[in-house]
């Protein structure tokens, strides 16, 4: 996709990966709509990227409802949706409140699904679009303390694979970004829970993971949207594990190649 003159919506855009994504898309010539809760931080990023700050609590079902329609009415049609917003929620599952568990699934899984459902009709009618969903190494690896977070991201990864099957042969692409540790505040909060921190420390010592900078993620995601690549896997040393985890899905895709996934007219 040619991003020059396109319009991109990035959720969780006020800091970390979201801020880096906004900067990179703007540098590619896109107009960016930044969605998040913190108005001051959103406006700061919007000010240096020429974007539009849009305040919304994406964990609130009512605020998510018809969000895309409101944004498009104010700014114009969206060409790219980047579901980046998420919450980490690390800790012993039996000690987590029902509200914390439900909030994690809402923000990490149900909100991205809802925004995809909202944006797709317009993209399909215009014959142009791309969706990026930001997932995690925890989607295909089991670490103590991240049962809820990991399963929310596993759901997002599986949803994106199924959505890609639905969209086969149609003019909207998808990219799933499966990320290991990214040097942000979210990673720091995950590491506050000792069992999770100890698990990652062992992987660091074995050289199986390494921290990635938000700017590297943003560059890879923008390149994927430009070229239509369906996976971004960082750090690259985790790519083999991600490929093994996705092998049943890839096998199914191969077995069903040539089968129409659209309803007959």
Catalytic residues: 149
Judging by beta carbons within 10 Å of its beta carbon (0-12, 13-18, 19+), is residue 5 exposed, middle or buried?
exposed
Q: Could you tell me whether strands 172-179 and 129-136 are parallel, antiparallel, or unpaired per DSSP bridges?
A: parallel
Q: Do 184 and 16 touch, CB atoms closer than 8 A?
A: yes
CB atoms closer than 10 angstroms to residue 122: 16
**Quick one: angle between helices 111-126 and 147-166, nearest 10?**
20
Between CA 8 and CA 129 the distance in angstroms is: 10
Judging by beta carbons within 10 Å of its beta carbon (0-12, 13-18, 19+), is residue 44 exposed, middle or buried?
middle
The alpha carbon of 228 is separated from its chain's Cα centroid by a whole number of angstroms, namely: 16
**Nearest C-alpha neighbor of 185 from the set 17, 11, 9:** 17
Grouping H, G, I as helix, E, B as strand and the rest as coil, residue 219 is helix
């Amino acid at each position: 996709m040619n991003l020059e003159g396109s319009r991109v919506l990035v959720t969780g855009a006020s800091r970390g990966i979201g801020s880096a994504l906004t900067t990179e898309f703007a540098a590619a010539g896109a107009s960016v709509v930044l969605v998040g809760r913190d108005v001051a931080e959103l406006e700061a990023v919007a000010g240096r990227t020429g974007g539009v700050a849009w305040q919304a609590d994406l964990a609130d079902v009512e605020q998510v409802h018809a969000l895309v329609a409101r944004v498009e009415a104010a700014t114009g049609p969206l060409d790219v949706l980047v579901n980046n917003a998420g919450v980490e929620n690390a800790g012993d599952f039996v000690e987590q409140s029902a509200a914390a568990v439900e909030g994690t699934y809402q923000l990490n899984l149900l909100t991205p699904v809802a925004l995809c459902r909202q944006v797709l009709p317009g993209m399909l009618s215009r014959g142009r679009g791309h969706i990026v969903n930001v997932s995690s190494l925890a989607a295909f690896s089991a670490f103590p303390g991240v049962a809820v977070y990991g399963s929310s991201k596993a759901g997002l990864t599986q949803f994106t694979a199924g959505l890609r099957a639905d969209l086969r042969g149609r003019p909207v692409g998808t990219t799933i970004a499966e990320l290991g540790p990214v040097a942000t505040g979210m990673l720091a909060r995950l590491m506050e829970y000792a069992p999770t921190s100890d698990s990652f420390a062992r992987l660091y010592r074995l050289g199986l993971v390494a921290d990635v900078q938000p700017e590297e993620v943003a560059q890879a995601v923008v390149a994927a949207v430009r070229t239509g690549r369906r996976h971004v896997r960082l750090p690259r040393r985790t790519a083999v594990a991600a490929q093994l985890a996705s092998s049943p899905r890839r096998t199914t895709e191969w077995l069903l190649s040539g089968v129409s996934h659209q309803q007959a007219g």
